[in-house]
Amino acid sequence: MTLETSPEHPGVGTIRLNRPPMNALNRQVQAELVAAAEEASVRDDIKAVVVYGGPKVLAAGADIKEMNDMSFADMSKVAGKLQDGLGAIASIPKPTVAAVTGYALGGGLEVALGADRRIAGDNAKLGVPEVLLGVIPGGGGTQRLARLIGPSRAKDMVFSGRFVGAEEALAIGLVDEVVAPDDVYDAALKWAGQFAGAASVALAAAKTAIDAGLDTDLTTGLKIEAQLFASLFATDDRTIGMESFVANGPGKAKFTGK
């Protein structure tokens, strides 16, 4: 697991899953995901994040061999950490995108579900096949999948354990863009790169407003929005953005991220 940046894509950090051959997400990788997400969250030079598993696979799931001998008592102690690890991308207060090539199954799909956007290769296979092992998705899959594609479609995927191809995934809203496999990472970098000079505090507020609002009723969501909107008037970027708009029109502000 690495958190990488490159001069070619300033402002974009890549969380790279790297546990060949299939990027099985064992407890060590889960802890590394949490650490990488925390680092990406606090680094001022990173404005947006890509999560990527390489050209052949995002991740084919949690490490079943590691779970095979665990009892109820054993899993009860670590189930929360499993959710924290596989859902770590969702905790990043910046735009995030999952670049999906090949398989994103079980925990691999749960990692991708934590991103704000998913770009998939036309060879992608996505699914939550845990029921075929006698369990259910335990890394946030039952919750994030239902919120993303609706309960009926989520139940179909969870109940059957079937794999969804790229075109169906696009049709049901499971992914947002389908490209050639060789273009997946570049497409993700391009999407993330548009935020390199954005008002990052405002982006964080927008993300919090949407995510927190979806977890409550409309009236409470509107109150969350109002509070976050007002709070941005304490930022340098609000002053810079509005003064630039008045003087030069839209889209020309040079934000500082403060």
pLDDT of residue 62: 87
Could you tell me if 40 and 103 lie in one domain? yes
**195-211 mean pLDDT:** 97
Could you tell me if 175 and 57 lie in one domain? yes
- Return the CATH number at 25: 3.90.226.10
User: Domain for residue 69, yes or no?
Assistant: yes
Q: Which residues pair with 179 in a beta bridge?
A: 121
Q: Which of 128, 134, 118 is nearest to 153 (CA)?
A: 128
The sign of the torsion formed by the CA atoms of 16, 17, 20, 21 equals negative
What does pLDDT average to over the chain? 96
3-state secondary structure of 131: helix
Tokens of 47: 């404005």
Q: How far is CA 87 from CA 80, 84, 138, 152, in A?
A: 10, 5, 10, 22
User: What is d(CA 191, CA 181) in angstroms, rounded to the nearest whole number?
Assistant: 16
Number of domains composing the chain: 2
Helices marked H in the chain: 27-42, 64-67, 72-86, 107-113, 141-149, 151-160, 166-171, 184-193, 200-214, 218-231, 236-248
Residues 6+ apart with CB under 8 A from 218: none
What's the distance, CA 29 to chain centroid? 16
pLDDT above 90 as % of the chain = 98
Q: Which of 48, 87, 103, 52 is nearest to 211 (CA)?
A: 87
- Each residue of 120-172: pLDDT tens digit? 999 999 999 999 999 999 999 999 999 999 999 999 999 999 999 999 999 99
The whole domain housing 232 covers 200-248
Parallel/antiparallel/unpaired status of strands 96-100 and 117-121 = parallel
Instruction: Report the catalytic residues.
Output: 62, 107, 110, 130
Residue 59, H or E segment: strand 57-59
Tokens of 174: 């499971």
pLDDT of residue 86: 97
pLDDT of residue 1: 81
Q: Of 193, 221, 240, which one is at a domain's C-terminal end?
A: 193
- Residue the block writes with tokens 């199954």: 105
**177-190 mean pLDDT:** 98
Could you tell me if 187 and 226 lie in one domain? no
**232-249 mean pLDDT:** 97
